[in-house]
Structure 1
Amino acid sequence: MLPDDAPLHGIFAKKKLNVFPYQLRLAWDRLVYSGTGQAPLVVYSEEEMRTKIATTPGSIGYLSEIKIDGSVQVVHINE
């Protein structure tokens, strides 16, 4: 995922997950510190996100539409 202060992360968290970025971070922190989960990898650009998605089997992520290319498969989320 992108850092909490990245604009796209805020849009994704609010519109698709219905939480604020800090709430998502708190949920991951609870899982990590309780030993029941592992936080997602943080990347620092959409280009890095696209590369990680394309080269890591089973990974998922989010990108701006203009950053999508043939290296990743798109899954549409209906609202």
Structure 2
Amino acid sequence: MGWLKTALLLCLIALTGSRSVAGDQTLLLVAHADVTTQHLTRDTTRAIFAMRQRTWPDGQAVRVFVLPNGHPVHERFVKERLTVYPHQLQLAWDRMVFSGTGQAPDRVRHQTEMLERIATTPGAIGYLEREYLDERVQVISMD
């Protein structure tokens, strides 16, 4: 019986370790290379993704890109980095669109498309897992 407990403990440690490795799919806030802002607060980031803040501090227009509702990376980003629920963000976008006071962000199908759109759209912002980054975009730090 002692070997079984040891085996189960080792399995648990392995699973926990693999979860932290999978959790190392760090979500990063990324922007077009010409964006001069290098750091955003959580509140400012939330305002940008809620489409309430439409310009960067230097006056350049912000273009927001998001993955589809229900996409696991979108859900993680909204919950972990913006500290809201995806449905709350969607409600904010819907209110703006239906009231005529704003628009929803641009949706992309997957992270590869997110990278392409951010890299080629001046003023763009979005989010990616670290493995999708390349030199065409910059990481924006966030507290």
Provide TM-score, normalisation by structure 2: 0.53
In the alignment, does 2:138 pair up with 1:76?
no
Counterpart in the other structure of 2:113: 48
Distance 2:82 2:74 in 1: 11
Q: Point out the structure with the larger strand share.
A: 2
C-alpha RMSD of the superposition: 0.7
Runs of 5+ in structure 2 lacking a partner? 1-65
For the pair shown, the structure with the greater C-alpha radius of gyration is 2
Distance 2:141 2:133 in 1: 12
Higher relative contact order (CA 8 A, sep 6+): 2
Amino acid at match of 2:106: L
Counterpart in the other structure of 2:72: 7
Q: How many residues align?
A: 78
Counterpart in the other structure of 1:66: 131
Runs of 5+ in structure 1 lacking a partner? none
Q: Counterpart of 1:9 in 2: which secondary structure?
A: helix
How far does residue 66 in structure 1 lie from its aligned partner after superposition?
A: 0.9
How far does residue 64 in structure 1 lie from its aligned partner after superposition?
A: 0.2
